Structure 1
Amino acid sequence: MAGRRSARRVIETANTTTTTLAHLSDPHLAHDGLRLPVGALMNKRIMSQWSWRRRRRFLHVDAILERVAADVRDAAPDAVALTGDLTNLGLPVECRHAAAWLRKNMPEPTFVVPGNHDMLVRESWPDSVGQWAAWMAAAPDDFPYVRHVGSVALIGVNSARPMPWFTAAGRIGAAQADRLADILHETGRAGAFRVVMIHHPPVDGMVPRRKALLDSGLFRSVIGRAGAEMVLHGHAHLSAVSTLPGPAISVPVLGIASASMRAHRQERMAAWHHIRVTATDRGFHAEIHRRIVGFDQPVRALPPWSFDVYRVPRPI
């Protein structure tokens, strides 16, 4: 993909009544075996590296991530939505490693948005997250991008920005918010089930302000005016369901724990969402299963929950 218009290109599957999605986030692929360039840590990255060496490498376990990836592949979803933080330091060598991991482990098509760790400091786009152009927008100005899979429109928003030291916050910006509103209106008129992907939680209070989406009000305003059927996010390393006000009804917001997290509390354990969206004669029916992957336990599927969107879909 290349050029400013690439963000609007469409990927479609066979026209079926049910579309299945897998949502996972925050793999935080281990980078201990990678050769880091001299001087790569002489900036904000040194704090993330210190945190990784001291604590986080014992929490983010590649063996757990591989079990999650295998479970996703076994489910054979129509598309995968991965909401950021594939890396820990955002180094070009890590981004290259993440691209190889995506090719090997994730079904096609997979769609990605960057996380704060992927854009920890200012870096050349082509050398860093630009290596993921096969799975997301080709250039920063191409966000939000939209991809159609069956009756679902997956819309990728970039909330990752290089931030000052001791800050993991995000921002979408006014220009991206305007484009998001246009895309939501356009896909809504086309009758699509609109799923917005973003790294930072757009719901206030889920993370401290230093980790929050600083212009969450701007995002909420767009959703409140244009509507969406679902919002997916990561970042908080917490599986949770919340809502945002829409034009007529509330919009479900699904957060998912880190796909590599070793934890004891259920809401923190590595997990992914299996989402089924079925077009009906009245609109859509969505059913969500959360699948939890422990370190040495069988994969567990929590009881599903569902909701309906009463709108007649039209061909895209």
Structure 2
Amino acid sequence: MSAVKIAHLSDLHLPLAGLPCLKEIRFKRLLSLLSWQLRRKHIHLPQTLSYIMQDIRTHMPDMVAMTGDLTNLGLLSEFQAAQTWLEEQDLPPTLLVPGNHDALIREPTYSCKSTLWAPWLRNTGHAPSVLRHGPVMLIGLNSAIPTAPFLASGCVAAKSVEALRPLLRQAAEEGLCRVVLLHHPPVAGLVPRRKGLRQRKALQRLFQQEGAELVLHGHSHRGSLSFIPHTHIPVLGTPSASHCAQTSARSAGWNDISIQACAQEWHITIQRRALGLDLKMHDGPIYRFAPHRLSLPTRL
């Protein structure tokens, strides 16, 4: 059986499609707009994102895992512009989970806006979303919640955590490789506390009990590798896909993931791709994992 290839990218921060209208103005949104005008628009560049997308297309993935923050202020105009952008990319089957910028403030129009992304979210509620290709199952969790000014924390709803349990168990029984997506990192130390995942220990306990083969996240704007505590489950972060080229770990990039089903284990290879100061894509660190296959499907 050939390997399944996944492109993981995050924190696209597409350019603003317009300013907030009067009914969209909130204090937190004004703070984010100020941040965009003074700093972020000089860092998150459309040309940078085009380099990343071109590189992804060159590698011809079977699936795309996108871990949030397509917008900056969570405006309707941004959701519409992101919908157009997603349609123009002509991506392979894609699973998208929202980020904190996509749910910046509490407003009744969020469900209407998220409907625009339904083909990629594959679930506009809080239940886990699923995308499968061969023996690999992508499972999306929504950690994006509105927060007070100066906070960017996330939370996976308790009912979503409990809905994840039977999904992980059933996927294991079917002999599938379980790759979980969420925007906020489910481990400590990768972002400041004000940006962290609330009640992350409940999610960690679930992973400790039910397992998973790989967890993908964004939010930190850095390439990182860590593990769910007391397990061998790798947790993989990626820089912003639109961040300008730098010598630091924040330079734009994506994760090229290959998953091969072997007799008793999964062969998972992760190749980081990063934009260099020469505006060319380069190979970064490479990681390899071989988790045991928990259940093998019966051959007919």
Give the TM-score category using the shorter length. Answer: over 0.9
1:190–1:315 Cα contact (<8 Å) kept: no
Stretch moving more, 143-152 or 87-96: 143-152
1:79 Cα offset (Å): 0.3
Secondary structure, counterpart of 1:287 in structure 2? strand
State the match for 1:199 in structure 2: 183
- C-alpha separation between the residues in 1 aligned to 2:292 and 2:186? 24
Change over 3 Å in CA distance of 1:138–1:114 after alignment to 2: same
Q: How does 1:47-62 map to 2 (within 5 A)?
A: 47-62=31-46
1:76–1:107 Cα contact (<8 Å) kept: no
1:73–1:106 Cα contact (<8 Å) kept: no
Letter in 1 for 2:66: L
Structure 1, residues 94-131: CA drift from partner, whole Å, max 9, x if none? 01111111111251211100000000012323432221
State the match for 1:30 in structure 2: 15
Change over 3 Å in CA distance of 1:69–1:105 after alignment to 2: same
Letter in 1 for 2:255: H
Match of 1:68 among 37, 49, 52: 52
Letter in 1 for 2:6: L
Q: How does 1:257-276 map to 2 (within 5 A)?
A: 257-276=239-258
- C-alpha separation between the residues in 1 aligned to 2:114 and 2:247? 32
Are 2:211 and 1:227 aligned? yes
1:188 Cα offset (Å): 1.1
1:76 Cα offset (Å): 0.9
Match of 2:125 among 137, 140, 148: 140
State the match for 1:309 in structure 2: 291
State the match for 2:265 in structure 1: 283
**How many residues are matched?**
297
1:169–1:212 Cα contact (<8 Å) kept: yes
Runs of 4+ in 1 over 4 A off after TM superposition: none
State the match for 1:131 in structure 2: 116
Structure 1, residues 71-104: CA drift from partner, whole Å, max 9, x if none? 1111110000000000001111101111111111
Change over 3 Å in CA distance of 1:23–1:315 after alignment to 2: farther
- C-alpha separation between the residues in 1 aligned to 2:216 and 2:61? 16
Secondary structure, counterpart of 1:305 in structure 2? strand
Structure 1, residues 226-265: CA drift from partner, whole Å, max 9, x if none? 100000000000100000146xx41000000000011423
Match of 1:236 among 194, 209, 220: 220
Secondary structure, counterpart of 1:266 in structure 2? coil
State the match for 1:46 in structure 2: 30
1:82–1:112 Cα contact (<8 Å) kept: yes
The TM-score with structure 2 as length reference comes to: 0.94
Change over 3 Å in CA distance of 1:195–1:61 after alignment to 2: same
- C-alpha separation between the residues in 1 aligned to 2:188 and 2:200? 7
Structure 1, residues 4-38: CA drift from partner, whole Å, max 9, x if none? xxxxxxxxxxxx4310000000000011x435423
- C-alpha separation between the residues in 1 aligned to 2:159 and 2:129? 13
1:92–1:129 Cα contact (<8 Å) kept: no
Which consecutive unaligned segments of at least 5 residues does structure 2 have?
none
2:43–2:243 Cα contact (<8 Å) kept: yes
2:114–2:124 Cα contact (<8 Å) kept: no
Are 2:112 and 1:151 aligned? no
Stretch moving more, 118-127 or 190-199: 118-127
Cα RMSD after superposing both structures: 1.7
Change over 3 Å in CA distance of 1:313–1:59 after alignment to 2: farther
Match of 2:163 among 179, 183, 186: 179
Sequence identity percentage: 39
Stretch moving more, 257-266 or 82-91: 257-266
Letter in 2 for 1:26: D
- C-alpha separation between the residues in 2 aligned to 1:255 and 1:278? 21
Structure 1, residues 247-297: CA drift from partner, whole Å, max 9, x if none? xx4100000000001142331110000000001112210111000023643
Letter in 2 for 1:21: I
2:95–2:130 Cα contact (<8 Å) kept: no
- C-alpha separation between the residues in 2 aligned to 1:106 and 1:230? 26
- C-alpha separation between the residues in 1 aligned to 2:278 and 2:90? 22
2:185–2:219 Cα contact (<8 Å) kept: yes
